[in-house]
Chains A and B, each alone.
Chain A
């Protein structure tokens, strides 16, 4: 019993240490941050123009429960979350192609756990920075994000949202153990997140039949839930959405674990 809790403690310390190193690693690449920040500003500017045109510049108009201000801030949150995810698939693909995966596998830390530590550290840092950058453009155009307790909802659901994103990316990334080239699958996953995940368009604005399909998929738990909760806080819904996120995390984690177990037996490493 004591031995088991000791090994868990050691695993946690290793994960925290990897996270700390990943955090410091990011700070060394300020240009990278600046570039992403510029692109975020640019794309949000385009979205603000598009949605302002769609609403005819009317700040009072409410469409499917969203005012123009809420839509713009919703987009800031979905973009901040989307761009927070580091390129996990291409990293795994590169590790498999150049043989670095061999080094990762012999380390005394779970392969998936290692990637989760790096992902969590990078994604949380990026998310915070992107929120600041996004606010810098949304605030002057549509006013301050006075969402009160909605911010708490955003933060509560963002942790689960990023975990769901990690697991989805891991599922695609692990395909590299069989096929090496995963960029095509990643592209499709990314576009599914953009559309039926609610990144470009809140799911409430979609047709009824599509909303019903989206409800059965994990994508909305990764983007739509936290962003919608921020602009439309609903305490009753928060508990339900957290439960759905946990459900998806358990399901996807099982799938990742199964896939990893099978994939690692198929893996042939050359070089490294």
Chain B
């Protein structure tokens, strides 16, 4: 099969998986609505906290309530689409450690892609909806603003996926790394929901390199409020670079993968 043909087949495969995931989620419609609604309420209560905080401290390191609201829109929105469409990105370590890759290895599709699209997080629908709702409420809804917000969501989601796949790949070398990667996951999410400018020195440097949460948490300022081409290029570069690195590391790790004898029929 030619390269173009392969790509088309993969796109069709991904599309079919997404449709099936959605149909599966819709099978338990009430549960889906409750879980997504719960996440929406959860995020709203966080914004309520920020409202109280900025009521007392109106400007913190140049950040206002509006900026933090946009930060939550970008972070939850980015996480939302990533977890809805590529729901296994935070579970790679567990999947590898328990030998569940066997199912994907037997399919004629790219293994990483197949793993990522085989799950849809239903609570993430609430996150995505929340992100969009906050954007519509306080964001710039002009065409330029819409495009920039779309770009911010793309970068944010790609970074979530890439960072967690990279962390999850550690399971190929050290075995059971679920606890560690879950801690990293929680910490990374937390870092993306606090204004990046509250951090200084080495920590700030780490936020824009080692743990690139800063590329998400600075977006309300560097991309949406005062467009900084250098920051935008850095964020796009980091998202693309880490995505490629994650795919390469996964491929490298796959060579070390030992089957868990967990082949089972999936209906």
Contact = CB atoms under 8 A, between A and B. Distances in A.
Interface string B175-219: 000010001001100110011011110010000000000000000
A91 interface: no
Contacts of B200: 49
A53 interface: yes
Interface in A5-40: 31, 35, 38-39
A64 B57 CA distance: 12
Q: Classify chain B: how many residues form its interface, as a range.
A: 20 to 34
A18 to B, nearest CB: 27
A50 B52 CA distance: 14
Give the dominant DSSP class at B's interface. Answer: helix
B41 A188 contact: yes
Interface of A: 31, 35, 38-39, 42-43, 46, 49-50, 52-54, 63-64, 181, 183-184, 187-188, 191-192, 194-195, 200-201, 205-207, 210
Contacts of A63: 56
A54 B57 contact: yes
B190 A46 contact: yes
A25 B31 CA distance: 34
B143 to A, nearest CB: 34
Nearest to A63: B56
A187 B49 contact: no
Given A39-B186, A46-B191, A53-B61, A200 B49 contact: yes
B136 interface: no
A58 to B, nearest CB: 12
A188 to B, nearest CB: 6
Contact of B60 (A54, A195, A201): A54
Contacts of B55: 207
A54 B194 CA distance: 13
